[in-house]
């Protein structure tokens, strides 16, 4: 049987709800907001007060659209936790003024930002959609035009007098992904993102199709909560054949490092060299947290399935299930920022906060 879906015609007259939605579009930086200078051919940020010159189709949209640019505008490679805090605060302060939010963001760290915002909020009942482009909005072949127009329609879509897609998602190249299940896999294709361990939330063609059974809906009446502060003292340690003690030891003995995302082979396997396990044990005993995440795009960590992961489990390494590296890093930053005990942190780490693990 094919999956059940709700169809919403892109033509406004055929939509289930004709109510005008109020949407806030937030530019953070990135390729989508660039135009080519006619003189030196360099790329420069567009003035979003004149965005309709680049996308005249916006004049046909009946929804109320407001544009703002965050200060400072940053390339997505320069994104930091304080930028996520500003994004989250912007949504939180305007939560009751708008029906939905669209972030225009660079693609390189979009999955990190979408994951981060999913953890900044609890009980987010309105759509927060990230989108961007591989080519600048001012170019003829840009993918940004369709990405933005469809993101607007998705953010405005209603289901039983409520948002069709609440929470944080990514829309890119005809597909709608859950934000904290997404990773960028291509630097040159328009379909730059994948979600290997979770099905898509929707897709666009002649119709917008929403796969409602994949969408997480918050409980009605639960108050929106904002976890404002993130702790950035998290690191990624990727294991590889030939990894040495001289490389690993300075990392695990860094007194400022509160948590490690350990990227392992396959289903959570790593070297069983005595020095490696000893360093891991020492780091955990000193108060550090180690979260085991697979280097594979698809699949899940199963500590103890093989002997090469059993030693990690015995050492106190926490299995990350099918979480992405992007979600693992931002989830740890969020939990560390709440200043809770290590025991409570591990309990929350083991449970889904916003649909990031199965």
What is the predicted pLDDT for the residue at 113? 98
Q: How many CB atoms lie within 10 A of CB 59?
A: 7
CA–CA separation, 81 and 229 (whole Å):
8
**Which of 140, 101, 105, 143 minimizes the C-alpha distance to 121?**
101
| Nearest-10 crossing angle of helices 342-349, 325-337 | 150
What is the model's pTM?
Answer: 0.91
Query: At residue 7, what are phi and psi to the nearest 5 degrees?
Result: -105, 135
* 330 is a catalytic site residue: no
Q: Which domains does the chain have, with CATH numbers?
A: 6-226 (3.40.50.1170), 234-349 (3.40.50.40)
* pLDDT tens, N- to C-terminus, the chain (358 residues): 344 444 433 433 334 344 789 999 999 988 888 777 767 777 767 766 667 778 888 888 999 999 999 988 888 899 999 999 999 999 999 999 999 999 999 999 999 999 999 999 999 999 999 999 988 887 888 888 999 999 999 999 998 879 999 999 999 999 999 999 999 999 988 999 999 999 999 999 899 999 999 999 988 778 999 999 999 999 999 999 999 999 999 999 999 999 999 999 999 999 999 999 999 999 999 999 999 999 999 999 998 888 888 999 999 999 999 999 999 999 999 999 999 999 999 999 999 999 999 8
* Catalytic-role residue among 28, 31, 271, 324: 31
Q: Which of 333, 331, 334, 337 is nearest to 352 (CA)?
A: 331
SS3 157: coil
| DSSP H stretches of helix in the chain | 51-54, 81-93, 110-120, 144-156, 245-252, 274-285, 307-315, 325-337, 342-349
DSSP string, 41-96: --EEE--GGGHHHH-GGGGG--SEEEEEE-SS---GGG--HHHHHHHHHHHHHTTT
- pLDDT at residue number 134: 87
């Amino acid at each position: 049987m094919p999956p059940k879906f709700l169809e919403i015609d892109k033509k406004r007259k055929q939509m289930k709800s004709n109510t005008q939605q109020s949407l806030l579009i937030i530019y953070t930086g990135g390729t989508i907001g660039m135009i080519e200078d006619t003189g030196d051919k360099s790329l420069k940020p567009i003035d979003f007060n004149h965005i309709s010159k680049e996308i005249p189709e916006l004049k046909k949209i009946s929804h109320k659209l407001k544009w703002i640019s965050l200060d400072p505008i940053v390339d997505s490679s320069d994104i930091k936790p304080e930028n996520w805090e500003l994004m989250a605060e912007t949504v939180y302060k305007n939560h009751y003024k708008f029906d939905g939010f669209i972030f225009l963001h660079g693609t390189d760290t979009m999955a990190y930002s979408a994951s981060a915002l999913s953890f900044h909020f609890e009980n987010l009942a309105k759509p927060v959609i990230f989108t961007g482009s591989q080519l600048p909005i001012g170019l003829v072949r840009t993918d940004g035009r369709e990405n933005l127009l469809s993101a607007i329609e998705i953010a405005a879509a209603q289901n039983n007098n409520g948002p069709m897609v609440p929470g944080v998602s990514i829309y890119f190249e005809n597909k709608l992904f859950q934000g904290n299940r997404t990773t960028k896999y291509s630097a040159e294709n328009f379909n730059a993102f994948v979600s290997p361990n979770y099905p898509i939330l929707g897709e666009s063609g002649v119709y917008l199709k929403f796969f409602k059974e994949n969408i997480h809906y918050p409980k009605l009446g639960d108050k929106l909560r904002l976890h404002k502060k993130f702790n950035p003292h998290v690191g990624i340690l990727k294991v590889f054949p030939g990894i040495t003690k001289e490389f690993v030891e300075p990392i695990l003995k860094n007194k400022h490092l509160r948590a490690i995302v350990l990227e392992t082979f396959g289903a959570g396997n790593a070297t069983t060299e005595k020095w490696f396990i000893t360093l891991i044990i020492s780091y955990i005993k000193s108060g550090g947290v180690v979260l085991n995440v697979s280097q594979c795009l698809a699949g899940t960590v199963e500590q103890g399935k093989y002997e090469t992961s059993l030693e990690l489990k015995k050492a106190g390494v926490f299995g990350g299930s099918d979480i992405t590296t992007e979600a693992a890093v931002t989830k740890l930053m969020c939990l560390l920022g709440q200043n809770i005990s290590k025991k409570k942190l591990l309990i929350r780490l083991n449970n889904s906060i916003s649909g990031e693990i199965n």
